[in-house]
Homo-oligomer: A and B are copies of this chain.
Amino acid sequence: MSFYDASVPAFQQILGSLSGLLTKAEAHCKAKNIQPDVLLTARLYPDMLPLSRQIQLACDFAAKGCARLTQSEVPSTPDTEKTFEELRQRLSKTSDYLKTFKPAQFEGAETRDVTFPAGPERTITLQGQQFLNRFAFPNFYFHAATAHGILRHNGVEIGKRDFLGVS
């Protein structure tokens, strides 16, 4: 077992399941004659981020998390997606990016220092394992589960099994 096994597959599972959630959301829009933008811009509260941003942020925490753990160049992706299909492509490209990592790149990463921005003028340094546990995973799952919550709250017929990607 490598530290790779502790990180990349976990992200991949949920990136895939989010794509499935969007497909069900899009079908729901068609079936109920709802404009896709209604769901894509839906929020759980006025000052929360909308569905589309939750998906983009989940992608970013996965991609940047793996980049930082492996001392790779941290990718930067413009947040331009406006449709379900474009968001699925963002998820798919993120998944493809994660597939480029090799287990060897993660060797020793659990104890290697990771320095990352925490706000505009501050950085935090954590060991790789702590970075994954305390920062990358909780942020990633937070945005993924919030995306699920937004769709669920809007009546899309999904459940935890869709979130887990086991249905």
Contact = CB atoms under 8 A, between A and B. Distances in A.
Majority secondary structure, A binding face: helix
A52 interface: no
Interface residues of A, number: 34
Copies in the complex: 2
A65 B137 CA distance: 17
Contacts of A149: 44, 145-146, 149, 153
B134 A9 contact: yes
Interface in A37-54: 44-45, 48
Contacts of A155: 45
Given A5-B129, A13-B134, A45 B110 contact: no
A30 interface: no
Interface of A: 1, 5-6, 9-10, 13-14, 44-45, 48, 110-111, 129-130, 132-135, 137-139, 141-142, 144-146, 148-149, 152-153, 155, 160, 163-164
A30 to B, nearest CB: 20
B160 A139 contact: yes
Nearest to A9: B133
Contacts of A45: 152-153, 155
